Amino acid sequence: MTNPSFIHFGKPSVEKTDTTANANITGGEPKMAVWLYANNEETGSKSGIWECTAGNHRAKMDGYMEFCHILEGEAEITLLSDGSKRTVRAGDSFMMEPGLEMDWHVPTYIRKSFVISSVEGK
């Protein structure tokens, strides 16, 4: 086990990684990137900052749950289970539980901080 760390997002800076190729894009030409500040392989948890430009993509919480806090911009999220829609904006926080499937529509830009926890084998 490694020594515990205090992680301050943005200090020190970490490399921005383009994640567009891993996305399930369903409309437009969104560009996505992540700054991964923590990636604990022992616990399956990750945290960082994610951004996305205008467009649509589909996401599924497959074996993990995610807490998000919107820093900038907004998105309309459609839950595929029932078609209901949620709009999230700067200042909003929310949790996406394991198994949740959704379509994200980003009208211009969104940036969020996130914490992902694996639920595999639980």
| Confidence band, pLDDT 50/70/90 cuts, at residue 10 | confident
- Is residue 110 one of the residues assigned to a domain? yes
SS3 21: helix
The span from the CA of 2 to the CA of 60, in Å, is 30
**pLDDT at residue number 2:** 64
Q: Closest by alpha carbon to 117, among 61, 79, 75?
A: 61
Q: Residue 104 sits in a domain of what CATH number?
A: 2.60.120.10
* pLDDT at site 122: 43
Convert the pLDDT of each residue in 48-60 to its tens digit.
999 999 999 999 9
User: Residue 28: its pLDDT value, please?
Assistant: 97
Domain total for the chain?
Answer: 1
Q: What pLDDT does residue 5 have? A: 79
Residue 7: inside a domain: no
In a domain, 50, yes or no: yes
* Phi, psi of 102, deg, nearest 5: -155, 160
Contact predicate 30/57, CB 8 Å: yes
Burial of 117 (0-12, 13-18, 19+ CB in 10 A): middle
Q: Is the pLDDT of residue 121 over 60?
A: no
Which domain range does residue 58 map to? 25-118
Q: What is the pLDDT of residues 13-31, one digit of tens each?
A: 889 999 999 999 999 999 9
